[in-house]
Structure 1
Amino acid sequence: MTSTNHVQAKQELLNDPTANHEHLPILGHAELLDGAQKLVFDTTPEDANTIASIQTIAGTGANHLGALFLAKTIRPRTVWISDPTWINHEEIWKLADPDIKRQKYPYFNKEILDLDFEGAMSTLSSMAGEGDVVILHGCAHNPTGRDFTKEQWRAIASICEQKRLIPFFDLAYQGFATGVWMKMLGP
């Protein structure tokens, strides 16, 4: 059953002469992308040209397009996936390029029911190689819900920079759990 509000909203959209009812451009809705970039990256006009964004169909579509893009352009040897992780990550990368190794890095310690930050850092420091991709859940890690602290994020950024790793952020739940993660990082 359709509610009156839905019918009214649909009618308002249909009657709005300024509403664009055509297909979106290939990259998506420009105003949505601009707003999302400002929210996620806190962009300024000076750095807006250093960030590329596209609109996708939900999280699986975004992860799949990102994996395909990286598989075809930088051709990483390995993608590092947290253990545990969202069930689709491994399959998405297998479909993008079955020759890219899918390795796990420790994320959650089931014995103490908390992050295994030391295990993650140790694994990435000793085993990840230049050009490898590291999937990082920006916030509300799926399935644990546990997030890195500000200091831990800085340490991860440092490892990525030192080892020239490619961070791939899965940001499905921004604003949940510990909050808006980029704002938390500070200057």
Structure 2
Amino acid sequence: MRRITIWLLSTVAALVLLFSYRTSTMGAGGETGAVATGSDPGGGTWSGADGGPDASGGGTGSSTGSGSGTTGGGSSTGGDGSTTGGSGTATGSVAQTRWGPVQVRITVAAGKITDVTAVQVPDGNRRDQEINDYAVPILRQEALAAQSARIDSVSGATVTSDGYRESLQSAIDAAHLR
């Protein structure tokens, strides 16, 4: 009888601990928030000295929104729609992941991606920070090597990798790179 009582109390204690554990997806009040699974893929912004490939005159050299056109002058477009010149930065749209927002900014020179910077990554707890301290440099290196958003996920950081790719593609679209 004593063994049954100890077993029952242990089980109840374990269940109480299990259900009282708070994860990083819970808000400050303990309620879980809705998770967005995507964003506007062309929602990045372009800010460049050459204005972009769709030159239409003497504007400001910046484009914001769907990436359908830019103002400014100086860059040309190749036959396949890729940028053949131009430099500046493009910030991708914010990719909402289950662990938090991910956003990247690319630097472009002569139509090539020369740098990728993570503007936002999930940082809700110490584990998120550890994962991203490991994963973001790998994702950056992959993006620079591939010159596109076709990069592999980092093991253990799949959600962040997906958000990184989504924001990176948005930045590439805003810069009118292929």
TM-score by length of 2: 0.25
Q: Normalized per residue, which structure has more helix?
A: 1
Comparing both chains, which one has the higher relative contact order based on Cα–Cα distances under 8 Å and sequence gaps of 6 or more?
2
Q: Which structure has the bigger radius of gyration?
A: 2
Q: Normalized per residue, which structure has more strand?
A: 2
TM-score by length of 1: 0.24
